[in-house]
Structures are given as structure tokens and as C-alpha cells.
Amino acid sequence: MTDIDLSAYFERIGYTGNRSATLDTLREIHRLHALAIPFENLDPVLRRPVSLDIVSLQKKLIADRRGGYCYEQNLLFQHVLRALGFSVTGLAARVIWTNPEGVITPRSHMLNRVDLEGTTYVADVGFGGITLTEPLVLEPNTEQSTSYELFRLVPQNDEGGGFAMDANAGGKWRRLYRFDLTPQYQPDYEISSWYLCTNPKSHFLTGIMAARPIEGGRYALNNNQLTIHRLNGEPERRTLTSAAELRDFFTDGLGITLPDSPDLEPVLARVADGKPVA
């Protein structure tokens, strides 16, 4: 296994603290990662392979200054935590956010369990528009503050068991996903990621999604619809009507370097016109 370049990672997220496996370190790198490395699905949209090995993750998210989706984000974060000496276990979740009530979804989301000094935490830097900015204590039915929204973990008493992750967004509790504590491994994520990048019905192929927490709020892009969620105010909504506006949002708003692909400009133009990606 290739070692992770912690210095390059810390430079990418702007972390200058110590490298001890402490709660303060976990909280700070979790927060900075979420702020610095946005969620985006441009590679699946462009039909480019998403590689989850550590060499590819470091090249894309660190050296090339791109973003990524949950497997990329949380696998990179997992490698960082382990290199620092944390005890980390990968988990999987069924996404409920935006899905109709009662629909059973696949285990298509990745998150991490961190065990530290007798306490278990949930760490998740890859849930898009409402991703955690700090880890949560795995403590049921307790409202937990972060630097952004309130969150809670609710035990599930049906046959699936486990926990549901809720966020208080816009003054209402909204269910994000449900998960249990069954360990997941690299092959599990490889299979799920491949499915999301190849199945014609996958929403990762049919439209652009991008998100990042910002000072006082969050950016969320759904195709050409940009929403700026304010923590203490009404959301601002805009329609990006040109490929140039979309490019500017990715480079200036999200702070990433766009992929070098001849297919990018036509895709951005179609999305700006309100047309399907393909």
C-alpha cells in the first residue's frame, strides 16, 4: 500500500496543527477537509473512470485540486486518519435524502467510524450539500451542534436496525441516510462506485452535482440551479445560463481546477441550456 503524503494533504486543506491522534485534531481536519475539498461528480458525468486507489485519490483530490464524491472523499479521509494513528472503520449507508418515503435504496454512501479514547464518532466528509463539518459522537437521540447545522442520530428499531442520520435544515429535521456498524472494505466500495458510474439510471451520470460549505452557509449546485443556503437567512437561488458561468462557479465558487477534457465544454453548454447531459 502506498503511503499518503500528509504534508501535501494538510497544505491542500490549510491545516497547520499537530499530528497527534486527538479529538481536537479529528475535529479540525474534518472541518477543514469539508471546507476545502468540494463534492462534485464531473468525472462520472464525463464518463471518466473514478479510481479509488490511494495513488489516484491523492492525484485527483490533492495534486490536481479537484473534488469528488463520497467514496473518494471518505476513503482519502480514512487513509489520512489511519496515518495519524486513529482507529477507523469504513461503513455504508442507504441514502434517504430526496427519496420518496418507504423506498429502499442501496447502500450507496460511505462514511467512517472513528474510535477514540473509549468514544465512538461518526465522520463523513462526503455527503454533498449537507455534509458534516465536524464528527458526531455515536450517541442516540442527542442533538449535536456543529459549526453549521444541528444533527442527531436516531436508533432504528425495525429489522434493518442501525441508526438514521438527521439534520436540522431550515428549521426542520430532515433524514439524510441510515447506516449500521457492519464494517465495509475497499472491494465493497469499488463495486458500489462502479455501479454508480456505469448504470444508466444513476443520478451521478445524468446531471451535475456540486457542493461546498462556505463562510456562513453552503453552496449547492444541481445542474444549472445554484442555491446559496444561509445559516441565518433565506436561501439565494440563481440559474447559471452559460457554460462560462458554470466554469466560474467551479473555479471561483468551489475553488477547483476543472478536468482537462474535450467533452467538458459541450456538457456545460447543455446543462446551462437546461438540457440533459447526454
Question: For 10-26, what is the mean pLDDT?
Answer: 97
Report d(CA 246, CA 158) in Å as an integer. Answer: 43
Q: Which of 33, 43, 79, 124 is catalytic?
A: 124
Q: Could you give the 3-state DSSP secondary structure of residue 226? A: strand
For range 25-34, the mean pLDDT:
98
Q: Which of 33, 79, 109, 229 is catalytic?
A: 109
| Cβ atoms 62, 9 nearer than 8 A | yes
Of 30, 33, 43, 70, catalytic: 70
5 given a catalytic annotation = no
Query: Torsion angle of alpha carbons 33, 194, 267, 272, nearest 10°?
Result: -60
pLDDT in tens, 177-229: 999 999 999 999 999 999 999 999 899 999 999 999 998 999 999 999 999 99
pLDDT tens-place string over residues 124-173: 999 999 999 999 999 999 999 999 999 999 999 887 789 999 999 888 99
Mean pLDDT of the chain: 95
Structural domains of the chain, ranges and CATH numbers in brackets: 6-186 (3.30.2140.20), 201-272 (3.30.2140.10)
Q: Would you say residue 101 has pLDDT above 80?
A: no
Res. 1: pLDDT tops 60: no
Burial group, residue 22, by CB count within 10 angstroms (0-12, 13-18, 19+): middle
